[in-house]
Chain A
Amino acid sequence: MQYNVTVIGSGPGGYVAAIRCAQLGFKTAIIEKYDTLGGTCLNVGCIPSKALLDSSEHFINAKEHFKEHGIDIPAPKVNIKQMIKRKEDVVKSNVDGIAFLMKKNKIDVLKGTGSFIDKNTIKVTSSDGKETQVTTDKVIIATGSKPTPLPFAPFDKKRIISSTEALTLTEIPSHLIVIGGGVIGMELGSVYARLGSKVTVVEFLDSLIPTMDGTMGKELQKVAKKMGMDIYLGHKVTAVENKGKEVVLKAEAKDGKVLELKGDYCLVSIGRKPYTDGLGLDKVGIETVKGQIPVDDHLKTNVDNIYAIGDVVRGAMLAHKAEEEGVFVAEQMAGQKPHINYLLIPGVVYTWPEVASVGYTEEQLKNQGRAYKTGTFPYKALGRARASMDTDGLVKILADKQTDEILGVHIVGARAADMIAAGVTAMEFRASAEDVARMSHAHPTYMEAVKEACLAATANRPLHI
């Protein structure tokens, strides 16, 4: 078959690129080696993790908060099999949705591993070994990423597990050790902490979610401790060993003290690495750099007709970043000139309370030597938060000292993930803190905390504190 555009990989980068290409009138094919579409995000990432986070959230509410709300029920029990099954149903309905979108947009779905023969020819090898070939004018590589193992302790998928296995456990661990206090570790750690596991997080750096604003990490640490998690910061893991029934971890603190932990599972969530195995990049002369496919500002590789997007290229490994890049590349191919403002790609952690940010962190502004001011507002002072008993958290606004332009929005608190969109909008239009403070925010909502933090940033004049 002959196509205008062939997309390799059907994650959020790939399938969105394919849809946009089809909308723009390109004859489009998408190649996916797994049975279902949707990539990491829909199958073993964003969607299933959120499904379990929501289920475990309901459980903890029933167990700990119903009573205070005046709902008496017998002590609830976790049915892990049902929980996992519901998660699988959620995944199925989502991946079926993608299959429908492909059909609707007349995109040919080719099942199998895509591999370059030359820059215009791709071989697709299906799981039963059958080979077909497609020719194409342009190619978008969206092959995503895979979990990074510890160099000295590869995933055995039994005791030493990655996020993928953590999403399909059939028992509740009695002690889950999480290596890496980043987004994935904290999210999956919270799932099991709520379901009753003892959870211990070992992080190499001195803060949780270290890439986010320092205040966020500190707040999250408080909440995690409240949940009963043990957190060891500044610890370097030196050994992890599967002893059959248990796993033993050794870590070293900065002062040389050795920490030894025994648990039944060890989740290694130290990052993800770009995935290009079997893609045949050597056939077209693309060389990866630290696993990533190098691209220019147009997301073009060193080969003229080949583009790459999502986790397999530089930048944050986030589904919505991959999606933006998919649209960007497709529109560019149609001669349009879209933009992506990478500074304004929000980051979210779906713990409870959630953490969400956009723009610069305070640390970045300090390093830049930029004159800024800060406005914060705690959830505790918010009527809406008291009503729902979600009083943990705060909103932090960073604004330029002279112009009052908002430079960063950082939220830790209930519904932060949904609220951050308002921060992105404000920053895309380069709103000042006072601009936001002067817009009417419905009462009572969590968003009022943003308005109040903006008042605080503008001239330190919040109303409700």
Chain B
Amino acid sequence: MAIQIKVPTVGESISEVTIANWLKKDGDVVKLDEVIAELESDKATFELTAQSDGVLKILKQQGTTVPIGETICEIEPGAAQAPQPPKAPATASTPQPQKTESKVSGGIKEMKVPAVGESITEVTISTWLKKEGDFVKLDEVIAEVESDKATFELPAEATGILHIVAKEKETLPIGGLICKIEITGESPVTEPQEKKETAVSASSGGSDKSYAAGHPSPAAAKILSEKGIPANQVQGNGVGGRITKEDAVKAQPSTTKPAETKAQPSQAAPVISSGGSRNIRKEKMTSLRKTIAKRLVSVKNETAMLTTFNEVDMKPIMDMRSKYKDQFKEKYGVGLGFMSFFTKAVCAALKDFPAVNASVEGDEIVYHDYCDISIAVSTPRGLVVPVIRNAELLSFNQIEGEVVRLATKGRDGKLSIEEMTGGTFSITNGGVFGSMLSTPILNPPQSAILGMHNIVERPVVKNGEIVVRPIMYLALSYDHRIVDGRESVSFLVRVKEMLEDPGRLILGV
């Protein structure tokens, strides 16, 4: 009798699934525990395995949504002994159902873009760490992959020879084919094999390509590791393109490697530009950059954004900080920066003006009774905004600790998606780059963002006298759809008052 295969219970609160993919065709012989289909819920993707050996009869087609418990296929056990349908060549004419799963087949492992997180639909190959034809080991990191949210390391799914399918900077959908690994099991080669040296001339120009191009000398390798620069981003000027110690010493970290426009010494001399370079350079946008672009434009189009300004006399905070910073550092092991003061002040003000901490969701306004503060961190790959959770509950040292932790992870490209989602309000500090004043753009779906700027000594009038004070301009951009002018302006005034008189932070007044 045929065994009916039903949609299994995949998790609480999941009531239905969609058949994302049949990995087997109607009439295929399947084996016990072989993956036959992929099911998708709103939360995740699951594999459906055969519950017996036999012949598959598909009842529900790809793309249909079925409730938990419903029968989606049957397996006729007795037929398992039936001859295996001929392999690939014979079925070549019938299009195979597209497999999204990585599969071992005939000693070749096809590696596909894994589902890296909800809401991520495509990724870009940012760097291949291994070259075509390289021998790779299982779990060895072979490439860096970038989505609009984060960077991931891609580990090899098998041990063998790498065949690259998607080139660097290419963008692939989830499930897209990245590379193939010809499984060899053990290490046949440790060095890449490329074609034979072509130039056998007496000139040992740095540019002749050879199999050893980009190979760092032992000293160069150490220097590059310490600078965190992958060897493939360095132009080797040694024999055959080898990276010399000098190349490594001079190497600068950069995410996009410029096409090495080395000025000719003869051209450097004339000051009057006559024969200057007219080169342009085109580079594909990374997914991160594309997403940033899309988001920024949509924020401008879809919100009613405007900005209010104020200024803060930073003297009280600076005095307090210089008085306690050593003790603070000693006690907590982190420095006392300005971020903790700003975060505390913002959290207090958000309590008073909940609309500033709210977001629009369709026809509804979502108010948050907690303050998850996104802090903008500039990284070599672009701006990322990790979140300090429940900042309203944290002490100064906890906030400073979080800032350091998240900023470091951000710079190393190690932030997880969770760490970057769900903020209710943002703080950005353009002051670190020297900005005097700016109008920050909202971080959707949030409805306000505070911009900090540089601290400059300015003449101000206090008690009828002109005095010199360290002043920072503050900017609050907000979504006028849900935040009124009164609220936004009062919010910023509140923040200013608390910063100028930090005692208020303690008393909550």
What is the interface of chain A, defined by CB distance below 8 A to chain B?
Answer: 336-339, 341, 343, 367-370, 400, 402-405, 428-432, 434-435
Please name 6 pairs of A and B residues whose Cβ atoms are closer than 8 Å in the assembled complex, sorted by A.
A369-B184, A402-B211, A403-B193, A404-B197, A405-B191, A429-B238
Bound-state CA distance A336–B219 (Å) is: 12
Docked Cα-Cα span, A1 to B196, in Å, equals 59
B226's nearest neighbour on chain A, judged by CB, is: A337
**Given A337-B225, A403-B210: A428 touches B191 (CB 8 Å cut-off):** no
List residues of chain A with CB within 8 A of the CB of B191.
Answer: 400, 405, 430
Any A CB within 8 A of the CB of B188: yes
**Residue in A341, A428, A434 whose Cβ sees the most chain B Cβ within 10 Å:** A428
B242 / chain A contacts, CB cutoff of 8 Å: 429-430
Given contact pairs A337-B226, A404-B197, a sample of 8 additional A-B residue pairs in the complex whose CB atoms are under 8 Å apart: A400-B211, A402-B193, A403-B196, A403-B197, A429-B217, A430-B211, A430-B242, A431-B212
Candidates B190, B200, B212, B225; contact of A343 at CB < 8 Å: B190
Judging by beta carbons under 8 Å apart, are A402 and B187 in contact? no
Contacts of A431 in B (CB 8 A): 212
Q: Please, which residue of chain B has its CB at the minimum distance from the CB of A364? A: B187
Contact (Cβ within 8 A) B211 A405: yes
Per the bound structure, the CA–CA distance linking A173 and B186 in Å amounts to: 46
* Bound-complex Cα distance A109 to B21 (A): 68
* Alpha-carbon distance A339/B190, docked complex (angstroms): 16
CA distance A369 to B183 in the complex (A): 13
**Which B residues between 221 and 239 are near A, CB-CB below 8 angstroms?**
221-222, 225-226, 238-239
Are A405 and B225 in contact (CB-based, < 8 A)? no
Chain B residue with the shortest CB-CB distance to A339: B221
B212 touches A405 (CB 8 A): yes
Which single member of A341, A368, A405, A434 contacts B187 (CB below 8 Å)? A368
| Complex interface: chain B residues within 8 A of A404 (CB) | 196-197
Contact of A339 among B200, B215, B218, B239 (CB under 8 A): B218
Given A369-B188, A430-B215, A402:B196 Cβ within 8 A = yes
What is the minimal beta-carbon distance from B463 to any residue of chain A, in angstroms?
A: 52
Known A-B contacts A402-B195, A402-B196, A403-B196; the reply to A338 vs B210 at CB < 8 A is no
Which chain A positions have C-beta within 8 A of B226? 336-337
Q: Bound complex: CA of A337 vs CA of B194, how far in Å?
A: 28
Chain B, Cβ-Cβ closest to A424: B218
B436: interface (CB < 8 Å): no
Contact of B193 among A367, A369, A400 (CB under 8 A): A400
Q: How far apart sit A336 and B221, CA to CA, in the bound complex (Å)?
A: 12
Say how far A344's CB is from chain B's closest CB, in angstroms. Answer: 9
- CA A339 to CA B184, docked complex, whole Å: 27
B468 at the interface (CB under 8 A from A): no
Bound-state CA distance A150–B242 (Å) is 49
Is B189 interfacial (CB-CB < 8 Å)? yes
Known contacts A339-B218, A339-B221, A428-B218; is A370 also within 8 Å of B197 by CB? no
Chain A neighbourhood of B217, CB < 8 A? 428-429
**B424 CB to nearest A CB, Å:** 37
Q: Is the CB of B188 within 8 A of A337?
A: no
Q: Which residue from A338, A369, A432 sits with its C-beta under 8 Å from B197? A: A432
Contacts of B190 in A (CB 8 A): 343
Closest 8 pairs (CB-CB, A-B): A337-B225, A368-B188, A403-B211, A430-B212, A337-B226, A430-B215, A339-B221, A338-B222
Chain A binding surface SS class: loop
- State the CA gap A369–B242 with chains docked (Å): 27
With A and B bound together, what is the CA distance between A431 and B194 in angstroms?
Answer: 14
Closest CB in chain A relative to B77 CB, distance in Å? 42
Interface centre among A367, A369, A403 (most CB of B within 10 A): A403
When distances are taken between beta carbons in the complex, the residues of chain A under 8 Å from B187 are: 368
Across-interface contacts of B238 in A (CB, < 8 A) = 429
Contact of A337 with B197 in the complex, beta carbons under 8 Å: no
Least CB distance from B84 to A in Å reads 30
Contacting A at CB under 8 A, from B175-203, are 184, 186-191, 193-197, 200
Name B's A-contacting residues (CB within 8 A).
Answer: 184, 186-191, 193-197, 200, 210-212, 215, 217-218, 221-222, 225-226, 238-239, 242
Q: Given A400-B193, A402-B195, A403-B197, are A339 and B225 also a contact pair (CB < 8 Å)?
A: yes
| Residues from chain A with Cβ under 8 Å of B188 in the complex | 368-370
Contacts of B211 in A (CB 8 A): 400, 402-403, 405, 430
CB-CB nearest in chain A for B211 = A403
Q: CB-CB < 8 A to A435: which residues of B?
A: 239
Look across to chain A and name the residue whose beta carbon is closest to the beta carbon of B238.
Answer: A429
* CA A428 to CA B217, docked complex, whole Å: 7
Chain A residue numbers with a CB within 8 Å of B194 are 402-403
B188 nearest in chain A by CB position: A368
Closest A residue to B212 by beta carbon equals A430
Hey, which chain B residues are within 8 Å of A339, CB to CB?
218, 221-222, 225
- Chain B hits for A343, CB < 8 A: 190
Bound CA–CA A367/B186 (angstroms):
9
Bound: A367/B217 CA distance, A:
28
A403 → B minimal CB distance (Å): 4
**Which of A336, A400, A403, A432 lies in contact with B222, CB distance below 8 A?**
A336
The answer for the CA separation of A428 and B244 in the assembled complex, in Å, is: 12
Task: Report the nearest A residue to B194, measured CB to CB.
Answer: A403
**How far apart sit A374 and B242, CA to CA, in the bound complex (Å)?**
25
Q: In angstroms, how far is the closest chain A Cβ from the Cβ of B229?
A: 11
Q: Which residues of B contact A402 (CB under 8 A)?
A: 193-196, 211
Contacts of B239 in A (CB 8 A): 435
Q: Which residue of B lies closest to A428 (CB)?
A: B218
Assess the B222–A337 pair: CB atoms within 8 A: yes
Chain A residues near B193 (CB-CB < 8 A)? 400, 402-403
User: With A and B bound together, what is the CA distance between A432 and B194 in angstroms?
Assistant: 13
- Give the docked Cα–Cα distance between A55 and B193 (Å): 47
A429 contacts across to B, CB distance below 8 A:
212, 215, 217, 238, 242
**Residue of A with least CB distance to B239:** A435
Residues of B within 8 A of A403 (CB): 193-197, 210-211
Give the docked Cα–Cα distance between A249 and B224 (Å): 56
Given the complex of chains A and B, what is the CA–CA distance between A359 and B197 in angstroms? 21
A53 to chain B, nearest CB (A): 31
CB pair A370 B212 closer than 8 Å: no
CA distance A369 to B135 in the complex (A): 12
Shortest Cβ gap from B255 to chain A (Å): 20
Closest Cβ neighbor of B222 among chain A residues? A338
Residues of A near B218 (CB, < 8 A) are 339, 341, 428
Q: Give the distance to chain B from A432, nearest Cβ to Cβ, in Å.
A: 7
Residue of A nearest to B242 (CB): A429
Residues of A within 8 A of B200 (CB): 434
Residue in A343, A367, A430, A431 with the greatest tally of chain B CB atoms within 10 Å = A430
Give Cα A370 to B9, complex, Å. 50
> Closest B-chain residue to A400, C-beta based?
B193
CA distance A77 to B130 in the complex (A): 62
| Nearest CB of A to B43, in Å | 35
Nearest Cβ in chain B — how far from A315, in angstroms?
16
**Of the residues B189, B197, B212, B215, contact of A368 by C-beta under 8 Å:** B189
Nearest-CB distance from B188 to chain A (Å)? Answer: 4
